[in-house]
Amino acid sequence: MTDPSAELEAFRAEVRTWIEQNFPKSLAGRAGALMGGETIDDSQREALEWGKRLGAKGWATPTWPAEYGGGGLSQTQARVLNQELDRAGAFNPLVRTTGMGITMVGPTILEYGTEDQKQRHIPRICRGEVFWSLGYSEPNAGSDLASLQTRAEDAGDHWVVNGQKTWTSGADISDWCGVLVRTDPDAPKRDGISFLMIDMNQPGIETRPIRLIGGASPFCETFFNDARAEKNEMLGEMNAGWTVGKRLLQHERQSQTGATSGLGGGPRKSLGDLAKEYVGVDEQGRLADPDLRARVTDQMMEAKAHALTLARIAAEARGNAKVSAAASIMKNAASTIAQKRAELSLEIMGSQGLGWEGEGFEKSELDAVRNWLSGKAMSIYGGSFEIQNNIIAKNILGLPENTQRG
């Protein structure tokens, strides 16, 4: 009988060797700087080449079926892969360079797509050749998403799409967009929605970036003016897009729990080490401020408990992890932990945590301020903190519906 642990260690050795042979050591530990950068320097080019190698191997999407370009690995093997990426300070650039492709759109196509759709779209996502965005929210349809008014009309051999979306992350640089549209205006609002995959490279689509307080512009307003969507690009059945769209959001929340980021990049400096560096220690080597020491300890314990819970969920799934409403719990927990860390980081840095630009600040200090600001959105995007609590109440605790049904 084959020893599973021996097989896993053999796989680990294979992964370690492949990473040593293919990952540029000059990129070690630089995931955040490179993936967030806007300029293409030599390091960015190396990162793009590394992404191509990872995609060609199938390890950018390790658990996706090999027949579509994925790695075909088990959940256990995927964890080993992520562990070895972290050990080498390596990362998966395709998680960001495909936009919503790996974390949301791809998994949904694998579940609801036709064989033709899988063959056309999934391999390109696996190789990092296409950037996906999503058209969900509208100016008058945010938390009440089912009130959306962007419509798609049957033009015989294609759909004609008109309307406006907002907060469409990366729409200005995306190749494709998954859009929720109204295909039956006379049906109850959740029953008249369909999910269309739309080619963004056409004159009928206009995007306008929205500048955020953190300085970046990842979000856009997107206008569809007689835009074209092909008949074979409807994901799922006509007027059943609400079901498809909700499932995609579960994948989004799962990606925001901290369980499947796939970025790697090696361990970052702990909050305790950061505090010792800026605040100093007493004669016993402890943080000199006892109140801060207690709060840093609490935050580190919460982060560790969160990580252990994610590991337990994966272990209990016995290598066949499923996305469920429980992702809402972990998404809210991840948001709270990240925001607390950002707040504490600025407090620890003192006046050095108040900079926006200038030679008096290290890049890590300026990044901390921007991360603190942009991190405020974590409890809003992917479904707000309150929306997640409603999902938890209804689908996990079994509490009665206290708003409209659906």
Q: What is the C-alpha separation between 181 and 162, in angstroms, rounded? A: 9
What's the confidence (pLDDT) of residue 323? 59
Architecture of the structural domain at 4-97: Orthogonal Bundle (1.10)
Lookup: tokens for 28: 């070690």
Question: If residue 153 lies in a helix (H) or strand (E), which one and from where to where?
Answer: strand 151-154
Residue with tokens 């630089």: 30
Q: What is the C-alpha separation between 332 and 302, in angstroms, rounded? A: 13
What's the confidence (pLDDT) of residue 2? 61
Task: Give the active site residue among 221, 252, 277, 302.
Answer: 252
What's the confidence (pLDDT) of residue 324? 64
Q: Of 27, 86, 94, whose CA–CA distance to 57 is shortest? A: 94
Which top CATH class is 132-239?
mainly beta
Give the domain ranges of the chain. 4-97, 132-239, 269-396
Per-residue pLDDT of the chain (406 residues; tens, 9 = 90+): 567 788 999 999 999 999 999 999 888 876 655 554 444 456 678 888 999 999 999 999 999 999 999 999 998 899 899 999 989 999 899 998 899 999 999 999 999 999 999 999 999 999 999 999 999 999 988 778 889 999 999 999 999 999 999 989 899 999 999 999 999 999 988 899 999 999 999 999 999 998 877 667 778 999 999 999 999 999 999 999 999 998 898 787 676 555 544 445 455 678 888 988 898 888 888 888 889 999 999 999 998 888 888 777 766 655 455 556 677 788 888 888 889 999 999 999 999 988 888 889 988 888 888 888 878 877 877 677 887 788 788 888 888 876 554 4
Task: Specify the DSSP class assigned to residue 233.
Answer: G
Q: Of 49, 67, 92, whose CA–CA distance to 260 is shortest? A: 92
Question: If residue 208 lies in a helix (H) or strand (E), which one and from where to where?
Answer: strand 205-210
Q: What is the C-alpha separation between 165 and 221, in angstroms, rounded? A: 6
Q: How many CB atoms lie within 10 A of CB 337?
A: 20
Task: Specify the DSSP class assigned to residue 112.
Answer: H
Residue 159 pairs in a beta bridge with: 154, 229
Q: Is 252 a catalytic residue?
A: yes
Tell me which CATH code domain 269-396 carries.
1.20.140.10
User: At how many degrees (to 10) do helices 241-255 and 326-349 cross?
Assistant: 40
Lookup: tokens for 26: 């000059």
Rg (CA), the chain: 22
Residue with tokens 């996706």: 64
Q: pTM here? A: 0.78
